[in-house]
Structure 1
Amino acid sequence: MHIHFISPAAEENAKIPSLSLMILAALTPSYIKTTYQDDLINPINLKEIKKDVDMVAITVSTKTAYRAYRIAEAYREKGVKVVMGGIHPTALPYEALEYADSVVIGEAEKIWPKLIKDFENGRLSPMYRQNEFIDCSLIPFAKRTLCYNYHYPPIAPIQITRGCPHLCEFCSVRTFFGGKYRKRPIDAVIDEIASISRPVIMIHDDNIIGDEGYAKEFLSKMIPLKKRWVGQASLKGLNKKGIVKLLKKSGCIGLLIGFESISEKNIKQSKKFQNNPAKYMEVIDMLHKAGIMIWASFIYGLDYDDETIFEKTVEFAIKARFLSAVFAILTPYPKTPIYERLKKEGRLIDEKWWLKEDQEKRAPHFIPKNISREKLREGWQWSWKKFYSVSSIIRRFHYN
């Protein structure tokens, strides 16, 4: 038996191996052949697909849905069974089932072994639903050999906690992982990290310091490993000197932080209550002094944004001396509060924008409140050019 794991391409995909597929491969019996294809690095030619595998397992996000569905159609035409899972099929399982033989709804760790047995016995079910969030001690060490034939950057992804209690209107994390922090046993995490040969670890958690007690114990046990790592953290919790010093001692070299907006009104309306624009610089200065690099993310198109938001945001990002910044147009992901609100207000332009091939060119997929769609897109493009311009780089290095 041969299972082929596929990570579909999207314009915004980063060149890192799929952690979810490596975890599924680890849960696959050793007598089953497993292979992997990153569609971004090694594009799948839909016209040359052959029936040389028994099953294709595709991980699907909303932004990869269009490509994933085309890949699935091509394999099914050749008689290959297709299984889909991930955040998008969990949000819209019946849509995904139009393109797959079976859909995994929710986390797959407990479902996957049963699905394989059912497939081997010729009784694959159309849907497998994980109704309760799993105990994170069930997450195995990822099978990293699955992706060894790809020349990825020297970064190894790992996940140690799942879930988020915050209520951010635009976020889809709660849809898939729930509203409570669930944690892997720290000793198991440390053992897995110690086994990784890559020089940099990428911790995939949405907030590495979400549970302060757990975070402090984990970071303390990271110190002897002398590993360098990057991750994502919420501003709430980073305003404590003790945690920042511990982050540095543990090997943290950089954090992705969702500032989202410099507008207090936007922050409040988006229900990102853990952010306080008035205290942004306080946290930024602490991280700079500790020698921790900051990758900042911002969202344009929130209701209080107007044509002045772009220059103000970029100027803030330059003065904050961010190593890197990501500027995104607000994306109304299905089943998120922002999607439901925009739909109710009649502001969604296309309720199923992810089914279009050129979805990035069509953005924004909604009608902004205080700026035209054209001006929003122009300001977004200008922000990227301005922040990464030579003059901006010189200013940021000068501040440093």
Structure 2
Amino acid sequence: MRIVLVNVPHPSIGSRIPDDHLPPLGLLSIGGPLIDDGHEVSLVDGEFGPAPIPDLVAEIVGRAPDVVMFGHSGSTSGHPVIAEVARLVSETMRGVRIVYGGVFPTYHWREVLAEEPWVAAIVRGEGEETVRRLVAAFEAGGALDHVAGVAFRGADGPRATAAAPVIRDLDAYRIGWELIDHARYSYWGGLRAVVVQFSRGCPHLCTYCGQRGFWTRWRHRDPVLFAKELARLHRERGVRVINFADENPTVSKKAWRAFLEALIAEKVDLILVGSTRADDIVRDADTLHLYKQAGWQRFLLGLENTDEATLELIRKGGRPDVDREAIRLMRRHGILSMATWVIGFEEETDRDLWNGMRKLLSYDPDQIQLLYVTPHRWTPYYRLAAERRVIQTDRRRWDYKHQVLATRHMPPWRTLLWFKLTEAVLQGRPKALRRTYLHPDKGLRHAMRWYAQMGRRVWPYEILNFFFRDRLDASGPTVRAFWGEPQDAEEQSMSADRPERSVARPAA
């Protein structure tokens, strides 16, 4: 069959501001198995430009596909764009099969199928094996009832089949790297780059995050085979930067050390960036020199907050002393630390945010990334936020970089003020400026200058958008009324072999 994979232009600030673009790993991951099954597969990436919707639709239609598959890493905020493009493609090409996968449709499959008649099937959870069986069912002209891991429109309305088995061997399906022109994708200031996954899932219990539930369990690739693949990407495709999509690749110290040693043995000049937990960094204090030898230049640490009561509320499981020690150890080994900090919890006051900023300064991270509280139905945190007031009803803005919820003690403009003030103080303090422009390590100096340059563009962009483009609704609906009932009972999206988490209801 002729299959077109579509990466729609995403409205988020992170996609619009940088001059760099990263390849859509999720689509490439299903592309490889489909190519190996003998299908004619191509990718249309609307992020470049970004492509105007009519042009994107014309390019998809021009390839005369039998099946069009949509997915996006910015799943919730990307959904309205995917819905629009899919509708236009369907109206132009009668009979084309539209398939939709990703986190948002995995959980919102009932609503998508009920409201979007052009969607033929939804791939729920991991897609590599499911899309192969789905396309085979399309070719045979049979029903989809026996294709595990999909949802479709039956005679009595939307229905979902049994969960697809969790993929235990992540090396059994190859990534379709041949679907992209590597020269078009870059990161870290114009360096050729790709996105990869060493592992899937996360074993930790943070209530706001969907990684644990979507991927069901934490698994990792073969450390040596993975290192060889990265080395091939460098030697054959000229890739310099490897951006890890893993939430927590360092869970297994044994497997992670095996990967680092295998990559060091390949003797390739790579820059590695990604995310992990502070407690894993502290745990690996004796092997951080291997991180550096392998090419690690920056880790994003999800600190989320500096208030212990808030950390307990979201079950982060972190400790301020561990966070500080992780940042200190990384600096000692020449690895940059980027700390994430979340604003917008319901009971926050000016005093809370002032004290939080002071504590964050004491952590002394190299870089800071601020985010807004953004609940999703499939996470346990959603139940705690279900009665909060929604002030942003444009679902394209639910990307962690826009205020979407009202807070009890502050108007939105003051929350924005604290958000931007914290960024300015952390990134503009003398110590940070000295590292950015005078760091003795040329590579780290380049990385920090690139991030600072991007920040200088994002900072005023967000302020101008807030006051002149974003439309906030002071009398908006509750979160529950806006999105629907909590889905934390379905958090384990594709598995019934582990009990669901129970989440305490907030007191009246």
Q: Same fold (TM over 0.5)?
A: yes
Name the CA shift for 1:396/1:116 in 2 (closer, same or farther; >3 Å).
same
Q: 1:150 & 1:339 partners in 2: Cα distance?
A: 41
User: 1:188 deviation in Å?
Assistant: 2.3
Question: Is it true that 1:187 corresponds to 2:224 in the alignment?
Answer: yes
Partner residue, 1:65: 79
Partner residue, 1:109: 128
Contact residue 241 and residue 271 of structure 2 kept, 8 A: yes
Question: Is it true that 1:269 corresponds to 2:313 in the alignment?
Answer: yes
Instruction: Name the amino acid aligned to 1:120.
Output: E
Partner residue, 1:26: 32
User: 1:320 deviation in Å?
Assistant: 4.6
Q: 1:41 aligns with which of 42, 48, 68?
A: 48
SS of the residue corresponding to residue 170 of structure 2 reads helix
User: 1:70 deviation in Å?
Assistant: 1.0
Question: Is it true that 1:55 corresponds to 2:67 in the alignment?
Answer: yes
The aligned runs of 1:1-400 (5 Å cut-off) are 1-8=1-8, 9-14=10-15, 15-29=21-35, 31-48=38-55, 49-50=57-58, 51=61, 52-60=64-72, 61-78=75-92, 79=94, 80-97=96-113, 98-99=115-116, 100-123=119-142, 125=144, 126=152, 130-148=163-181, 151-153=184-186, 154-178=192-216, 180-197=217-234, 198-226=239-267, 227-240=270-283, 241-273=285-317, 275-303=318-346, 305-314=348-357, 320-343=363-386, 346-349=387-390, 356-359=395-398, 363-389=402-428, 393-394=432-433, 396-397=435-436
Instruction: Name the amino acid aligned to 2:423.
Output: W
Over the aligned positions, Cα root-mean-square deviation in angstroms equals 2.8
SS of the residue corresponding to residue 345 of structure 2 reads coil
SS of the residue corresponding to residue 34 of structure 2 reads coil
Q: 1:177 & 1:10 partners in 2: Cα distance?
A: 25
Name the CA shift for 1:357/1:19 in 2 (closer, same or farther; >3 Å).
closer
SS of the residue corresponding to residue 322 of structure 1 reads coil
Q: 1:47 & 1:124 partners in 2: Cα distance?
A: 33
Give the share of equivalent positions with the same residue, in percent: 21
Name the CA shift for 1:307/1:87 in 2 (closer, same or farther; >3 Å).
same
SS of the residue corresponding to residue 282 of structure 2 reads coil
- Deviation per CA, 1:182-236, whole angstroms, max 9, x where unpaired? 1222232122122112112122211121122221222222211233311211111
Instruction: Name the amino acid aligned to 2:168.
Output: D
Instruction: Name the amino acid aligned to 1:56.
Output: V
Q: 2:12 & 2:68 partners in 1: Cα distance?
A: 22
Name the CA shift for 1:113/1:10 in 2 (closer, same or farther; >3 Å).
same
Gaps of 5+ in 2: 16-20, 145-151, 153-159, 187-191, 440-508
User: 1:118 deviation in Å?
Assistant: 1.6
- Equivalenced residue count is 394
User: 1:64 deviation in Å?
Assistant: 0.8
Instruction: Name the amino acid aligned to 1:29.
Output: I
- Deviation per CA, 1:282-313, whole angstroms, max 9, x where unpaired? 21111001000112211112355322444555
User: 1:135 deviation in Å?
Assistant: 0.9
Q: 1:393 & 1:175 partners in 2: Cα distance?
A: 37
Q: 1:128 & 1:58 partners in 2: Cα distance?
A: 20
User: 1:73 deviation in Å?
Assistant: 1.1
Q: 1:281 & 1:13 partners in 2: Cα distance?
A: 27
Contact residue 76 and residue 82 of structure 1 kept, 8 A: yes
SS of the residue corresponding to residue 69 of structure 1 reads helix
Q: 1:375 & 1:282 partners in 2: Cα distance?
A: 32
Q: 2:341 & 2:179 partners in 1: Cα distance?
A: 34
Name the CA shift for 1:191/1:11 in 2 (closer, same or farther; >3 Å).
same
Q: 2:22 & 2:289 partners in 1: Cα distance?
A: 28
Q: 1:45 & 1:233 partners in 2: Cα distance?
A: 36
Contact residue 22 and residue 193 of structure 2 kept, 8 A: yes
**253-262 vs 322-331, which deviates more?**
322-331
Instruction: Name the amino acid aligned to 1:46.
Output: I
Name the CA shift for 1:124/1:63 in 2 (closer, same or farther; >3 Å).
farther
Q: 1:182 & 1:386 partners in 2: Cα distance?
A: 39
Q: 1:64 & 1:172 partners in 2: Cα distance?
A: 16
Contact residue 349 and residue 367 of structure 1 kept, 8 A: yes
Contact residue 247 and residue 275 of structure 2 kept, 8 A: yes
User: 1:81 deviation in Å?
Assistant: 1.9
Q: 1:238 & 1:370 partners in 2: Cα distance?
A: 36
Contact residue 79 and residue 396 of structure 2 kept, 8 A: no
Gaps of 5+ in 1: none
User: 1:47 deviation in Å?
Assistant: 3.4
Partner residue, 2:445: none
**Larger RCO, structures 1/2 (Cα 8 Å, 6+ apart):** 2
Contact residue 318 and residue 392 of structure 1 kept, 8 A: no
Contact residue 163 and residue 174 of structure 1 kept, 8 A: yes
Instruction: Name the amino acid aligned to 1:373.
Output: P
Instruction: Name the amino acid aligned to 2:5.
Output: F
SS of the residue corresponding to residue 42 of structure 2 reads strand
Q: 1:201 & 1:289 partners in 2: Cα distance?
A: 22
User: 1:54 deviation in Å?
Assistant: 2.1
- Report the TM-score, using the length of structure 2 for normalisation: 0.71
User: 1:2 deviation in Å?
Assistant: 2.2
Q: 2:396 & 2:340 partners in 1: Cα distance?
A: 25
- Report the TM-score, using the length of structure 1 for normalisation: 0.88
SS of the residue corresponding to residue 377 of structure 2 reads coil
